[in-house]
Structure 1
Amino acid sequence: MTPYAIALMLVCFPYAQGAGAAEWKQPGVEIVGRYALDADGKPRFGWPGTAIRIQFRGSKLDVTLSDDGKNSYRVEVDGKDATLQLKNGSHAYRLVDEGVEAVHHVRLTRRTEGYEGSTTLVGASTDGSFLDLDRTIRKITVIGDSISAGFGVDGAGPECEAGAANGNQTATYAALAARDLKADLLALAWSGRGLTQNYDRSKTQVMPDFIEQLVPGEPARAVLADEQPDVLIVHLGSNDYARGAPEGDFRQAYVSFLERIRRSFPKAQIYGAIGPMLAPEMLQLARSAIESAVASRVAAGDTKVGALFFPSETIAQSWGCSWHPGKAAQQRMGAQLSERIKRDMKW
C-alpha cells in the first residue's frame, strides 16, 4: 500500500460486558453493523449488508481488506456506484484517485452472505485527512433468511443457480427501505435458515441460534441491549413451510421468539413478516400462524408489534435465481415496508 500522510489507526475499546465483544473507533471511519476484533485488534465482519463508511478530504484513498476472495462489495464514492470483487489475501484497493483535493464520501457495503467467509478491515490511508462523520440516528434490524440476504436477486431467473455472483443484500427490501428512510441497517440473514426448522428440515442451527453472533457461525456474542434498533423485522417462516407444514407448534415458537426479541429491545417497533415465496397453501398457513402469534403479543399488552404480508403477486414477473425475488420484486417489497414504517413511526 502506498504510504500517505495520514494513516488509519485501529483502536479498540472493550464493552463493559459481553464475551468477545469489543468496540473500535476511528474519526472519519465507521463500521455499520457487527464485527469482532482479530488478534491484531482489527475489525472483522461477515453479516451481509455490513458497511464501512469513510469521509475524508484529499485526492486519494486506499482501503486494505483481507478476505478469502469470495466476497463482493458495493462501493459508493460521492454517489457513484461500482462493485468490488475482493481477492484472496490482504490487498489495498484504490477507491479514490482524483487530481485535486476535495471532500469525499465513501461507503463499502457487503453484498455477500456470511457463509462466504469474513472480511477484515486492515487499514486505510489518504494523502489528506479523515473527517468526522455525521451520525445516523435511525436504526433498523432485520432477522431473516435468503429473501433478506439477497439470495439470487441479481440473476435473471427463475431457473439460474443462485450463488455469490448474483447474491446482493444491498438490493433487498430491507436495504432499500433503510436507504429510503435514511437509517442504518443490521441484516442478520442467512439463506436456508428457519425459525423452527431449516429448508433441509433440520431442526438444529436454526436462525434464532445465530442472532447474537458478532460474526455468523462464530461463538463471540454481541450485547443485544447495546444495539436498540428503532425498527426490527422478523422475516422467518419461508424455510419452515417450504416442504410442507413444519412439525411442532410454529405459532407458539414464533410467540416465544417475539417475547425474546421484546426483552432485548423494549422500545423497538417489531414486525412479523412473511412472503412472497411459498406455494399458496403454505403461504396462507405461515401467514395465519404469524398473524396469530402477533395477535397474541398484542393481547398480552405489546403495543408496538404488527404483522406484515408480502403477497405472492409481488414476485410476479420479477424472478431472481433459484425462484427467489428479483430486483423489481424486492423494490416493491421495500416500498411496502418503507411506507409501513413511515406510517407507524411517523418518520
Structure 2
Amino acid sequence: MSRKPRAATLAVAVVAAVTTVVHPAAAATGDGSPSDANIRYSGRWDTRSPGAYVPGWTGAHAVVGFTGTTVKLRQRGSVDLYAGIDGGGWVSYKGVSGTVNLTPSRLPPGTHTLRVAYRQDAGSYHGDEVFQGVLLDPGAHTVVPKVPSRIVEFVGDSITAGYRSSKEALTAYPQVTADRLGAAATQIARPSVCLYPSSDGCIGMRDRFLKTGLDTGTPDWDFSRYQVSDVVLNLGTNDKAHNVSGAQFQSAYVTLLQRIRAKYPNATIHAMEIFKRWYVPETKAAVAARNNAGDGKVRYVSTEGWIDPATDTADGTHPNDAGHRKIAARLAAVLG
C-alpha cells in the first residue's frame, strides 16, 4: 500500500534504455524547442503548450541527439533534476531554474546524446516539472537519437512507480526489465492508485488509464502516438486498504482489459499476481473472461516466490533495489 502523494523529488536523468518514441506536432526541426521533431518523448506528455511540455506519469522522459560541444536545459521554475550525456552517470542539479548549463566543461566536437527523465517521488514533483527544451552552440542543431523499437508499457501503483527504490522509476522493475530486453519502458503508474475507483477517494486506474496524466484536468491520451508490444498490469495492492470488494475488483479488471485491448489491438497483456497475493481468484477470473471472449493474448502471471518481503522490500510492501532486480529477472523471462 502506498502513502498519500507528497511533494518530493523531480528528477531529470540519464536512462540505460531510451523509451517510448512519441512524435509531437512538428515545429522548427533541429532548434531544440519542445516541439522539435528530433526530440523523442517517453511516456505520456501534455503537449498542448508548444513551448512547455509537462510529463503526466512516473518515468516520463525525453532524449535528443545534438551536435556541438555544449548543451543547456531550459527550465521555467525551480526544480531538482538529474541529467546525463552520452551514457554517463547521473549528475544532480538541485533548485535550478532558467538556463541550466549541463556542460561546464565542453564536450569533444561531434554528435552527442542527452537523456532527460522527469520522475515523481511519492507521486509528486519537487518543483516545476515543465520542460522547455535545450539550448545548443551557435550553428549546432539537434539530431534524431537511436531508440529501441520495442515498447513495453507497465501499469500500476507505487510498486510499479518505484517508490522507496533508490532512484524511483529509474531503478524500478519496469525500467530494469526493459533494459534486460533491450526494449523501451513506459510507466503509467503513481503511488496511491487503485484499480477500482473506490468511494473513499482512491483513484481508479480502470478510468485514469485513458488519461494523459493522473490529474482529471489532463486530456484524454492520444494512443496513436505509439503502440506497444506488451502491457504489464500490477494493480490491487491499494484496493484492499480501500475495502474494494472482490466483485468490484473483478468487474473493474475486465473493463480495464477491454479498454487496453481497444487501444492496443496487437499487444500481449500480462496480469501480474500482486505480491501480497490479494484478489488472486478475481484476477484469474478476469483473465479467463477475456480468454473466453476470444482474446488469447491476455495472460495471468504468477509471482509466488519472486521476492522475500523480509529482505527484498524497504517496508514489507515496496521493493528495494534488489527486489526490483529480482522482479525484473523473472518478468523479463516471461516477456521474452
TM-score over 0.5 for the alignment? yes
Partner of 1:332: 326
2:307 is aligned with 1:309? no
* Aligned position for 1:45: 55
CA distance in structure 2 between the aligned counterparts of 1:99 and 1:107, rounded to whole angstroms: 15
Superposed CA offset, 1:102-137 (max 9, x none): 322221222325532762221212223322223431
* 8 A contact 1:72–1:85 mirrored in 2: yes
Matched AA of 1:238:
T
Instruction: Pick closer, same or farther for the CA change 1:307–1:72 going to 2, 3 Å.
Output: farther
| 1:100 aligned partner | 108
1:99 Cα deviation (Å)?
5.1
Can you give the 5+ residue segments of structure 2 that lack an aligned partner in the other structure? 1-22, 27-33
Q: Which residue of the other structure, out of 208, 211, 230, is the alignment partner of 1:210?
A: 208
- Distance in 2 between the 1:76 and 1:59 partners? 14
- In structure 2, what is the Cα distance between the partners aligned to 1:331 and 1:153? 11
Report the Cα distance in structure 2 between the residues aligned to 1:58 and 1:90, rounded to whole angstroms.
21
Cα 1:311–1:97 shift into 2, 3 Å: farther
Could you tell me the TM-score, scaled by structure 2's length?
A: 0.79
Q: What is aligned with 2:31?
A: none
Matched, 1:124 2:152: no
Per the alignment, do residues 12 and 230 of structure 1 end up closer, same or farther by CA in structure 2, a change over 3 Å counting?
closer
Using the TM superposition, give the Cα deviation of residue 53 of structure 1 relative to its aligned residue in structure 2, in angstroms. Answer: 0.5
Displacement of 1:298 in angstroms is 1.2
Quote the residue 1:66 is aligned against.
Answer: 76
How far 1:310 moved relative to its partner? Answer: 2.5
RMSD: 2.8
Displacement of 1:41 in angstroms is 3.3
Residue 94 of structure 1: CA displacement? Answer: 1.5
**Letter of the 1:193 counterpart:** V
Residue in 2 aligned with 1:19? none
The structure 2 residue matched to 1:77, chosen from 67, 77, 85, is: 85
The residue that corresponds to 2:292 in the other structure is 299
Q: Does the residue aligned with 1:115 lie in a helix, a strand or coil? A: coil
Range with greater deviation from structure 2 (90-99 or 116-125): 90-99
Query: Which stretch of the first structure deviates more once superposed, 144-153 or 206-215?
Result: 206-215
CA–CA separation in structure 2 for the residues paired with 1:297 and 1:202:
29
Within 5 Å, which residues of 2 pair with 1:93-172?
93-95=101-103, 97-98=105-106, 100-113=108-121, 114-116=123-125, 119-127=129-137, 128-154=140-166, 168-172=168-172
SS class of match (1:229): coil
Q: Which residue identity is paired with 2:282?
A: A
Alpha-carbon offset, residue 169 of structure 1: 0.7
Larger strand proportion, structure 1 or 2?
Answer: 1
**Aligned-pair CA distance for 1:193:** 1.0
Shift of 1:202: 2.3
Residue 36 in structure 1 maps to residue 36 in structure 2: no
- Displacement of 1:152 in angstroms is 0.9
